[in-house]
Amino acid sequence: MPQRRKGLCLSPGCLRELQEHSKIAKKSGDSETFVRIRGIVLVSDGCNYLEVGQILDVTSGSVSNWVSRYLDGGPRALATEARSGRPRKLSEEELCEFEEIIDAGAMAYGFANELWDAKRAARVLLECFAVSYHPNHVAKILHGRGFSVQCPAVTLARANREAQKRWENEEIPRIARRAKKNGRRFSSETKSA
């Protein structure tokens, strides 16, 4: 059953205003607003809501909503509204305070060394602001605020540096040569410092 068309007559001034808003939407990359304005123009050209919906790949109900919004508030009512999403757990002021804690250093906060990693930063957020974030998300927050990721270097407390160098320079190559001579593969996780 064909849908009854609800007429929409636009004056030349209204059409010019729609064209201006359409250009702004297209320039700013707001494709949703651009499509809504195009739908209003098509309705004013005599297309029914079902036809406009098929042309723009939307439902006729959406077209009806656009027309109602346009009639109630003009072209600005067709603009895409900001979507807030989930509210932030930390305010901008709290994030700035968090940055100051990070800038002061890990030792100033009470850690044994100056290394800030995501787990430590997450702990600070929990203790200072009562906000629990996964360390991966904390890393994103830090990166977004200009901090770089730090990875702790593993060092042995009682390691003999000279014995390590000898192992890396003499023993590993000897073992690799012997493995190659016997037709075996050799792989070492040890990397030179």
pTM greater than the 0.75 cutoff: no
In the chain, at which residue ranges do the beta strands (DSSP E only) sit?
Answer: none
- Spatial neighbors of 151 by CB under 8 A, at least 6 apart, are 117
Q: For every one of its 193 residues, what pLDDT tens digit does the chain have, with 9 covering 90 and above?
A: 444 446 678 888 888 888 888 888 888 888 888 899 899 999 988 888 999 999 999 999 999 999 999 888 888 888 887 777 788 888 889 999 999 999 898 889 998 888 888 899 999 999 999 999 999 999 999 888 888 766 666 666 677 888 888 888 888 888 888 888 887 776 665 555 4
Instruction: List the end-to-end C-alpha distance of the chain, in Å, as a whole number.
Output: 78
Among candidate residues 54, 59, 57, 15, the one with its CA nearest the CA of residue 37: 15
Maximal CA-CA distance, the chain: 90
Tokens of 116: 């800030």
